[in-house]
Chain A
Amino acid sequence: MSVDPRADVGWCSLDYAPPTMTDLPLPVFGAGDDPGASFSDLLRRRTPHLLPGSALPTAGGDATPHSPLGIPHGTTIVTIRCRDGVLMAGDRRATEGHTIASRAMDKVFPADAHSVVGIAGAAGPAMEMVRLFATELEHYEKVSGGPLSLEGKANKLSQMIRANLPAAFQGLVVVPLFCGYDRRQERGRVFRYDITGGRYEEADYATTGSGGVHARNWIKAFWRAELDRDAVIDLSLASLFQAADEDSATGGPDLIRRIYPSVVIVTADGIATVPEEELAERASRLVDTPALGGPRRVQAETEPSRAPDGAGVTTEVPR
């Protein structure tokens, strides 16, 4: 009778099946299953319920192109390339239908030390996407020992927007802008996206959100190469003012409540947020200076309006 020599070698034998490592709190993966430096792949393997969109109904239901839900939407973001890098600015308003949901929402977020993402669209999914994106960049940097290239970051964001496509078809559209300082090419770069994850690098500026088209026209008229810091901040504030002037979902500088657009500048040295006092000063100058893009005073002393038959209907208060 032959006996397997491994059959009875005590508890240190090879036949003893240790608990699998995935039972442990620390995530350890086999070679074929390792998510590498990607944080989303890690979530997919370990905690898939944390991935954005995981709670969405997957099939059936009435997909409506416009969100019927009363959820906040963010509006206008602009990004402009300048001499030392690139600027991103956003208004502070969020709307729920025709209601103002927030007057002081921040929609421009640093993604890492040299890039910034600004969000327009359904605020909840957008903020979740930004948080995942920022974690993704930091995770990659820590696991692999160095940051992604700017191109790599822009592509990663594109994949995340594409992953949001089912939600977009149900009305939860997220369309961010992305900009950063490319340390390899030593210049600022701007990217815009569509809901399918299409990624478009723009030469000099890009805008998104409901007031984006108005802001873009203003920037288009006044952009020039070699904008310095002062000029590019003023241009961004003016473009947002113009957007707010035309689009009800975009908030202008609120001098009464002291709420101003959020403005950040990315240069080779990293990200600098333009301080509130400086924005306050620039915004007050803007609203007093039509030449900068501020409002023209409306002439109040027009003729009293008359009915077509000239019957003498007057707006004057009778005495």
Chain B
Amino acid sequence: MSMPYYMSPEQVMKDRADYARKGIARGRALVGLEYLDGVALVAENPSSSLNKIAEIYDRIAFAGVGRYNEFEQLKISGIRHADVTGYQYSRDDVNARSLANSYAQLLGQIFTHEMKPYEVEILVASVGVTALDPNRLFHILYDGTVMDEHGYSVLGGNAEAIGDALEGQFSEGLSRGEAVRLGASALGKPDDRTLEATQLEVAVLDRGSGRRTFRRLPVAEVAELLAG
């Protein structure tokens, strides 16, 4: 007769968290930075067609690191959530906070109840309507932990080293070019690399660009910004 076995909840959670963290650490990192007129998202991503950064709604962007299929699914859920809310009520009623909460609920449920936790970290960023209206950077972990971050946010492998690189150099009121340059240099910092425009995926939420503030920057424009 086989013995029923017991696993302590602490052990189960720890194993799952380790599993998720290992998966996330394998991927390349991503940073989100506030600048004068918006929020810049800079990801190390050699693929030009499989994106880590995406538009969710007029003022909200999504960025994910870790397993592509998992954060892609989260991205689509977020777009659906936002579009249905905006269609049902009004475009003004879609906000990053409620979306971040929904993501946290979903990831928390999956972490505790599914066989395998999601190996992802995601960022829900939004840009304020005016310069006085604060931008938001909600950093959400694989287990549903939400962090409301200010200034900048780092996701993925080597996050600590990249965060250290940013900490000294980030300041409020950067220009868009400065923000992208700072993000790119911080991403390369841990192993002293200089990232080229082709290795980066860059998008911005730009306050001044009409209703849909999200814009993906083409490689040529990123190269121009990196050159200064």
Residues facing A in B1-56 (CB within 8 A) are 1-2, 4-7, 9, 12, 49, 51, 54-56
A26 near B78: Cβ-Cβ < 8 Å: yes
**Cβ of B106 under 8 Å from chain A:** yes
Question: Do most interface residues of chain B lie in helix, strand or loop, or is the interface mixed?
Answer: helix
A142 near B113: Cβ-Cβ < 8 Å: no
| Cβ of A78 to closest chain B Cβ, rounded Å | 26
**A18's contact among B6, B88, B114, by CB below 8 Å, is which?**
B114
Residues facing A in B37-89 (CB within 8 A) are 49, 51, 54-56, 73, 76-81, 83-84, 86-88
Contacts A5-B2, A24-B102, A131-B87 known; A139 to B79 CB distance under 8 Å? yes
| Cβ of B203 to closest chain A Cβ, rounded Å | 12
**A142's contact among B12, B54, B106, by CB below 8 Å, is which?**
B54
Residue of A nearest to B50 (CB): A145
A24 near B109: Cβ-Cβ < 8 Å: yes
Cα separation A9 to B77 with both chains bound (whole Å): 33
Cα separation A21 to B7 with both chains bound (whole Å): 26
List residues of chain A with CB within 8 A of the CB of B152. Answer: none
Produce 1/0 per residue, A121-163, CB < 8 A to B. Answer: 0000000000110010011001101000000000000000000
Chain A, interface size category, equals 20 to 34
**Cβ of A10 under 8 Å from chain B:** yes
Contacts A10-B6, A142-B56 known; A135 to B83 CB distance under 8 Å? yes
B4 near A143: Cβ-Cβ < 8 Å: no
B7 near A27: Cβ-Cβ < 8 Å: no
Extra 16 A-B pairs, beta carbons < 8 Å, given A25-B105, A26-B103, A46-B84: A5-B4, A8-B4, A10-B7, A14-B115, A18-B109, A24-B106, A24-B109, A26-B106, A28-B106, A39-B83, A42-B80, A47-B88, A138-B83, A139-B83, A142-B55, A143-B80
Please list 27 pairs of residues, one from A and one from B, whose beta carbons are closer than 8 Å in the complex, sorted by A's number: A3-B2, A5-B4, A14-B115, A16-B113, A18-B109, A18-B113, A19-B113, A21-B109, A24-B102, A24-B105, A25-B105, A26-B77, A26-B80, A26-B81, A26-B102, A26-B103, A27-B81, A28-B73, A39-B87, A46-B80, A46-B84, A47-B84, A50-B87, A132-B87, A135-B86, A142-B56, A145-B54
